[in-house]
Amino acid sequence: MKLKRVLLVLSFWLTFALQAASAQSIRVDFLRCEYLTDPLGIDNTHPRLSWLLQSAQHGAKQTAYQILAGTTAASLTEGRADLWDTKKILSFAQNQIKYSGKELNSRQYCYWKVRVWDENGKVSEWSKPAFWSMGLLQAADWKAQWIGEKPITQQRWKTEGVKLHSGYQSEMIDVADQPQSVTIDLGSVQAFDEIKLYPASPVDNKLDGFMFPVRFYIEAASDKNFSDAVKIVDKTATDVVNPVTVAAVYPVVPGKVRYVRLTVTKLTRSPFYDTKFGFALAELQVNSGSKTISTGAKVEAKDPYEIERFGWNRTFLTDGILMKMEMPPFVPIPLTPAPLLRKEFDVKPAIKHATLYVTALGVTEVTLNSKKVGEHILAPEWTDYYKRVQYQTYDVTGMLAANRNAIAATLADGWYIGPMFPLPDRGANGYDRRFLAQLEIEYDNGEKQTIATGNTWKMNTDGPLRRASIYNGESVDASKNQMGWELAGFDDSKWQEPTVDNSVKVILSAQMNEPIKALQEIKPKSVTKTGEDTYVYDMGQNMVGWCKILVRGYDGDSIRLRYAEMLNDDGTAYVDNLRGAKPVDYYIGPKESSIVIEPRFTYHGFRYLEIKGVKVDLPLVAVTGKVIASSVANTGEFNSSNKDLNQLWKNIWWTQLGNIYSVPTDCPQRDERLGWMGDAQCFSETSIYNMDMAAFYKKWMRDIMDSQRPNGEYADFAPSMAYDQTLYNAPGWGDAAIIIPWNLYQYYGDKEVLKSNFTSMRKFIDNIDKLNPNHIWQKATGLRYGDWLNGNTIVDKDYPKYGGQIPDDVFSTAYFAYSTGLMAKMAKVLGDDAAYECYSNLHNAVTKAFNDKFVTADGIIEGDTQAGYSLALSFELLPVTLRKKAAEHMLNGIKKYDNRVSTGIHSTARMMNQLSEYGYNDMAYKLLESDRFPSWLYSIRQGATTVWERWDGYVKGRGFQSVGMNSFNHYALGAVGEWMYKVIVGIRPDTTSPGFNRFIIHPQPGGSLTSASGSYQAISGKISTSWKLTGKAFTLQTTVPVNTTAVVRLPVKGGLTENSLPVVRGKDGIVSSQKKADYWEVVVGAGTYNFKVE
């Protein structure tokens, strides 16, 4: 009995000890492959693996790992792993670990697991197994054929014998009052008595009287140098009335002339670029009696805007074509219903695996036996269709029925055929919708079966989806439904055989980014009746996706769903700012007791849903908003004692969510929605804090490379469209191809994104260097958007008209220097010594040129703008001795604007960062918390639930800004989220330790805040902070993930404790502690810490 009691006691303590040891041991979870969880059908044969670690032990670390990989889960034991056994690897690495096992083949399944050793040499349990599968790696693996409707053979443009003609347009500059001139040479001295100026109209827009000169004078001379010039027309005193569509006629005193010079003293603001000014004419005509003597005259001008695609050329000023020649008509593609495709097939018992590979030119939804395959929406998503299309891989083993089955697909326009900016009609990238699918079945006995698209399929071209467009919504005629068409046994004898198209030549790449999915559902907050059968539902949130509605007692009449971000004063939907987009879904069909209306092949940006055509009131529960976006994971959290800042963070988050549709778009609602690179690079750090953007950006970087010109120029947006080859190489836009990979390296430790894109980046920088030997970026600049939407674009009588725009050369050269400096850093990371030396030297040369040309001895930068100082300081372009002085100039620039911003999308967040960097945190907080116009909180006061494109998108008392460009869901100015994470929450990367292996915790209280908290799910683990000011005490709780180190900085005033005890090196994860001039610095390992300073 005594022995039993002893054994029981020993058993109890042994169990307790094992449980305690287990509680302290390190654990491995969240295994991922190429940033994805258990991805199917990847095409990287050496994918990178990662995992997270969990431990309750302070200072817990990984010191070694072992990975097993095998062809089955059962093979994952030591000695049996038939693909890869790393054995014990001494390493702290827990991500970016490249698979280096046996060669991987098409279709192969790879199961893997990992264990690690901690700082005490104790080994963890094995993780739960994860897996990935390989896609179709070789072109020969594809047995499927592209199928669809008969090809459309019409030409996209009727260009034969047609000359694109808008006229002459001057160089676009930053100010309206800098004179510009153009001269024509008649070839000999001739008599004349009249001048006519014909207004221009761009071939690609209906803008009559386009940029007609506001004030000007005209001189006549016989001498080329105008030494004998006579001013024959003078319209400089008052603004000239734009003649719009007729010539402005100016009789002159008869005389003789050879040279005629038009000098414009007041330029016209561009309707496309608010900060640019110039002038345009269709023709400058010189007459003598009834005879025109200027036709064919030589034209001389400084750097005119000449782009053949848009019909602008200096020679057009005197070519005798007096008005624009219309754009050669874009031949509209017939608007045909979305084709339906189907195929029946038989299967045998004992299926081991069934895998479906699918893609399309267009967008598609596939069903097996009437059930949708996967959760993907708008697959295969958007790429540069002239280079590449993504395919998706689905495991459909559980979807197959015994014996007879049916596979079916609906094929809609998507980004491929639908209208895309700036093209208003269908056919942006191609004419013919095409579908490709390959179903591979493997049986237990090893037998294989393939069902592939080809001429044995059936097609119906008169289905219920009459129209489907990304920009213009859907139209459904339910009377065209054929019940059961997605099921086996359906009579498709009247369906036609599809066309097999062997002309499609495009790279098929596996989708390795998170698919677009339905992520949330939102119910409306209220409904207002605005007409006899019209209702407006307020979703309470500006969102992106569509609405699903349930209508009972449907009478067969047409129902219209129209989407809007804002309301007119009368409560109706405001859609003027959507330009050419038609955000409307239509439904018509036979009478039914109830119907459900829900689109599938479009998306809308909206807060308000207007329903027209319903005969009975629809209750709020009958309407459901579907939030649609790329299904990236959330990684950031923010909360503070200021509810307005909490709303601002929510607005930023919602804006980002609404603009990730496989590419980072500028807006989700108007006829644009493009992957503008300038906007994306400015917002990229904020986006990474908010969401896991690694796989998303990796995919988009490939789109950028696919759209690059042979000479190295990058498109201003990617994917680009082949029909529009003009928008390339804009400073601050092309640079995104360098800046974003660098940020991916900093945040995720991703060297591969640097390596795979480095050659492309070199071409971009080398081209700029070759064409600008003086190291001032003036040539090969594309369109000079500059610091887009800066203060100069704000329309308000109480706000300065000028003073916000950085001079073009300052802006472009700043980016040239910055990108070149990043190239040097990347070369060093990649171990390319020659490239490092090359770009280090170039960076130094460009930086010197910048300072020599634009910076005075006391640190004043040409233009003296808030934005100019912001970029120069952020890019570290100034000598160290001038940086503090430049920061003072930046501060004074803010004060000149009465403590308001004048910055645009490139400089606003960077200015906030530099204010905090140089000790002006109080001003940064003042700008952030201000609700005066213009400010972030001003829009919130107007009810905004997303970030606006413009500071002045809507101004109380003035109304809406220009309908030409006024989105209310635009993330660029939301880049301040980066500052909120770095300064308020206090989580920031350590640039010497990519991937957040070591990072900085440094919250900086200010403004009205008494508390704040937040977190960031880094690739190395979740980092969190929570701080509070109570009286004279500052408390900070922070959690540091396993296997990482944090440098914690706290206010220096007062004594410092951790968990109410003195901070002692070596105790409970404390690595070191040091009191510096401005803060306490404590270096800690993994664990949760409670610091207090008082």
pLDDT at 391 exceeding the cut of 90: yes
**Cα(209)–Cα(243) distance, integer angstroms:** 6
* Residue ranges, CATH 2.60.120.260, the chain: 168-318, 346-510, 516-630
* Residue ranges, CATH 2.60.420.10, the chain: 986-1093
Query: Would you state the structure tokens that stand for residue 432, as one six-digit string?
Result: 């013919």
**Segment 736-756, tens digit of pLDDT:** 999 999 999 999 999 999 999
Q: What is the mean pLDDT of the chain?
A: 93
Q: What is the mean pLDDT of residues 773-801?
A: 93
pLDDT of 309: 56
* Residue ranges, CATH 2.60.40.10, the chain: 2-140
308 among known catalytic residues: no
Cα atoms in the Cβ-side hemisphere of radius 13 Å centred on 574: 18
**Cα(571)–Cα(793) distance, integer angstroms:** 28
pLDDT at 324 exceeding the cut of 70: no
CA angle 41, 47, 50 (to 5 degrees): 110
pLDDT at 354 exceeding the cut of 60: yes
Closest CA to 64 of 84, 91, 29: 91
Terminal Cα distance for the chain, rounded = 60
Query: Would you state the structure tokens that stand for residue 1076, as one six-digit string?
Result: 């510096």
**Cα(620)–Cα(525) distance, integer angstroms:** 8
657, 602 Cβ separation under 8 angstroms: no
Among residues 752, 929, 949, 1058, which one is catalytic? 949
Q: Which CATH number describes the domain made up of 2-140?
A: 2.60.40.10
Q: Does domain 636-984 have CATH number 1.50.10.10?
A: yes
Q: How many CB atoms lie within 10 A of CB 99?
A: 22
Among residues 440, 610, 672, 752, which one is catalytic? 672
Q: Which residues share a beta bridge with 611?
A: 535, 561
Give the CA distances from residue 611 to residues 476, 589, 600, 615, in Å, rounded to whole numbers and listed in that order: 15, 16, 18, 11
pLDDT of 476: 98
pLDDT at 325 exceeding the cut of 80: no
Q: What is the mean pLDDT of residues 332-353?
A: 93
Q: DSSP alpha helices (H): ranges in 694-829?
A: 694-706, 736-748, 752-771, 808-829
Q: Which fold has domain 986-1093?
A: Maltose phosphorylase, domain 3 (2.60.420)
454: Cβ contacts below 8 Å, ≥ 6 apart: 144, 145, 147, 500
**Segment 45-68, tens digit of pLDDT:** 999 999 999 999 999 999 999 999
The DSSP line for 267-299 is PEEPSS-TT-EE-EESEEEEEETTEE--TT-EE
Report helix, strand or coil for 79. Answer: coil
Q: What is the mean pLDDT of residues 261-265?
A: 97
Query: Would you state the structure tokens that stand for residue 435, as one six-digit string?
Result: 């579908």
**Cα(713)–Cα(351) distance, integer angstroms:** 51
Of 16-20, 457-461, 547-551, 667-671, which range is least confident? 16-20
Closest CA to 395 of 358, 440, 355: 355
630, 514 Cβ separation under 8 angstroms: yes
Q: Which fold has domain 516-630?
A: Jelly Rolls (2.60.120)
CATH tag for 168-318 (out of 3.40.50.300, 3.20.20.220, 3.60.20.10, 2.60.120.260): 2.60.120.260
Q: Which residues share a beta bridge with 169?
A: 280
Provide the whole-model pTM: 0.88
Place of tokens 């002339």: 257
**Cα(783)–Cα(729) distance, integer angstroms:** 8
pLDDT at 8 exceeding the cut of 60: no
Backbone angles phi, psi at 868, to 5 degrees: -60, -45
**Cα(789)–Cα(928) distance, integer angstroms:** 18
**Segment 147-194, tens digit of pLDDT:** 999 998 765 554 444 556 788 999 888 788 899 999 999 999 999 999
Q: What would be the CATH architecture of the domain defined by 346-510?
A: Sandwich (2.60)
Q: What is the mean pLDDT of residues 755-782?
A: 95
Backbone angles phi, psi at 25, to 5 degrees: -75, 160
**Cα(864)–Cα(878) distance, integer angstroms:** 14
User: CB-based burial of residue 1060 (10 Å sphere; 0-12 exposed, 13-18 middle, 19+ buried)?
Assistant: exposed
Report helix, strand or coil for 227. Answer: coil
pLDDT of 270: 87
**Cα(502)–Cα(482) distance, integer angstroms:** 30
pLDDT of 616: 81
638, 981 Cβ separation under 8 angstroms: yes
pLDDT at 108 exceeding the cut of 50: yes
Closest CA to 608 of 968, 1049, 975, 199: 968
357, 459 Cβ separation under 8 angstroms: no
**Segment 1015-1070, tens digit of pLDDT:** 999 999 999 999 999 988 999 999 999 999 999 999 877 789 999 999 888 788 89
**Cα(872)–Cα(878) distance, integer angstroms:** 6
Q: Which residues share a beta bridge with 1069?
A: none
As a whole-number percent, the residues of the chain with pLDDT over 70 amount to 95
**Cα(689)–Cα(636) distance, integer angstroms:** 5
In this structure, which amino acid lies at residue 632? V
Q: What is the 3-state secondary structure (H, E, C) of 117-147?
A: EECCCCECCCCCCEEEEECCCCHHHCCCCCE
Place of tokens 């209906």: 206
Place of tokens 């402005």: 248
886: Cβ contacts below 8 Å, ≥ 6 apart: 859, 861, 869, 872, 873, 878
Q: What is the mean pLDDT of residues 327-339?
A: 75
The DSSP line for 807-825 is PHHHHHHHHHHHHHHHHHH
**Cα(809)–Cα(871) distance, integer angstroms:** 13
**Segment 880-930, tens digit of pLDDT:** 999 999 999 999 999 999 999 999 999 999 999 999 999 999 999 999 999
pLDDT of 16: 39
pLDDT at 323 exceeding the cut of 70: no
**Segment 205-258, tens digit of pLDDT:** 668 899 999 999 999 999 999 999 999 999 999 999 999 989 999 999 999 999
pLDDT at 424 exceeding the cut of 80: no
Q: What is the mean pLDDT of residues 128-133?
A: 98
Give the CA distances from residue 730 to residues 307, 727, 893, in Å, rounded to whole numbers and listed in that order: 15, 8, 26
Query: Would you state the structure tokens that stand for residue 361, as one six-digit string?
Result: 């030119």
1094 among known catalytic residues: no
pLDDT bucket at 112, cuts 50 / 70 / 90:
very high
Query: Would you state the structure tokens that stand for residue 674, as one six-digit string?
Result: 């493009």
677, 714 Cβ separation under 8 angstroms: yes
Structure letter (DSSP) for residue 984: I
Distance of CA 845 to the CA centre of its chain: 32
Q: How many CB atoms lie within 10 A of CB 227?
A: 8
pLDDT at 330 exceeding the cut of 80: no
Structure letter (DSSP) for residue 303: S
pLDDT of 305: 74
pLDDT at 20 exceeding the cut of 90: no
pLDDT at 835 exceeding the cut of 80: yes
